[in-house]
Amino acid sequence: MIGIIGGTGIYKIVELGDEIVSQVVETPYGPSPEMSIFQLHGKDVIFMPRHNLGHAKPPHMVNYLSNIWSLKKMGVDRVIATNAVGSLDESIKPGDFVIPHDFLDFTRMRKGTFYDDKTVHIDVTEPYCRELRNILISSGNVVGKGVYVCTEGPRFETAAEIQMFRQLGGTVVGMTGLPEVVLARELEMCYSSICTVSNFAASISPTKLTMDEVFEVVENKRKDLVKLLSDSIKRIPSENHCDCRSTLDGAEVGDLLEPEDL
C-alpha cells in the first residue's frame, strides 16, 4: 500500500482515481484524519490530508503520531508526502518542486518518537528513502536535492532566522516535515517528500509573507503535483530495494547488563 500525505492546499485528490472507501482509523494517539482509498496503476493508494479537511489543524497542532500510526495500520509501507515551503535559495523559485535529501530540525514542542518506554536510537544519516527519491527525481522536473529546515511555526521566520538557516546549509523552510519523516522511519516505512516552493523565505522575499500567496502558488501547481505523484506511483516497484525496512536493527538498546553481571 502506498500512502500520500497531502499538505497545505491538498485536502483531496479526486483527479487520481475514484475513491473506493473513506476511512478514519483509531490509534493509541487519537483518530486519524479521514483518509480515502483508491486504486492507481493497479496499486492500492491511500490519501491522508495532513491538516484534516479545510486545514483544521495548523502545523504545530497536527497529530503526527496518529497520522503515521494510522498509515502503518492501514498497511502503508511507502509514503510520499507533500509540503509547502519557502525557498532560502534565489535560484529555487516559487512554483519549483524540491525533493529533500536531509533536514535540520528546529521544532521545539512536538512529540517526536513512538518509543517512550524503550530506548530506540534510529539512524537518520539518510532520513528520506533513496529509492523513492530517485523515482520522484526521474518522474518530473524537480530540484533533486535539498536540506529541509523545519520550524515550529505557526509564525513565519524572522530575517535573522532565515540568514542563519542559509548559513547552516538549509535549502527550503517549512513547518510540517518534522517529526513526520522520523516517525515514518521509526516504523520502518519508506518516506519521501515533494516540497512545493510557494514563496521566497522572509527577507529574501521582497514583500511580506502571506498565506494567500502560499495557497495561490500551491493551487497553481496542483496539476503538476498530481501528475508527478501519478507518474511516480506508476514506477514504484512492488519490491523495495532500500534499507528502510531494517531501521530498527541495532537501534534498540537491549539489556546491557545480564542479571548475573549485577
At 188 the three-state DSSP class reads: coil
Nearer to ligand HPA, 174 or 179 (CB): 174
At 123 the three-state DSSP class reads: coil
Kindly report the length of the chain.
Answer: 262
> Which of 234, 246, 135 shows the shortest CA–CA distance to 189?
246
Using CB under 6 A, pick the residue from 114, 156, 165, 191 that binds ligand HPA.
Answer: 156
Q: In 140-210, which ranges are continuous DSSP H helix?
A: 159-167, 180-186
Q: Does 183 interact with ligand HPA (rule: CB under 6 A)?
A: no
Secondary structure (DSSP) of 60-74: GG--HHHHHHHHHHT
Q: How far apart are CA 39 and CA 2, in angstroms?
A: 10
SS3 content of the chain, % helix, strand, coil (to 5): 30, 25, 45
Would strands 147-151 and 97-98 be described as parallel, antiparallel, or unpaired? unpaired
* Residue 208: CB minimum distance to ligand HPA, A: 11
* Residue 252: CB minimum distance to ligand HPA, A: 34
Fill in the per-residue mask, 195 to 234: x = in contact with ligand HPA (CB under 6 A), - = not in contact.
Answer: ---xx-x-------x----x--------------------
Q: Does 25 interact with ligand HPA (rule: CB under 6 A)?
A: no
Q: How far apart are CA 110 and CA 258, in angstroms?
A: 35
Size of residue set near ligand HPA by CB under 6 A: 14
- Contact stretch for ligand HPA (CB under 6 A) within 12-20, 110-118, 150-158, 251-259: 150-158
Nearer to ligand HPA, 4 or 162 (CB): 162
Using CB under 6 A, pick the residue from 49, 86, 94, 146 that binds ligand HPA.
Answer: 86
Q: Does 84 interact with ligand HPA (rule: CB under 6 A)?
A: yes
Residue 152 in contact with residue 205, Cβ under 8 Å?
no
- Contact stretch for ligand HPA (CB under 6 A) within 81-89, 221-229, 240-248, 253-261: 81-89
Contact residues for ligand HPA, defined by CB under 6 A: 84-86, 151, 156-157, 173-175, 198-199, 201, 209, 214
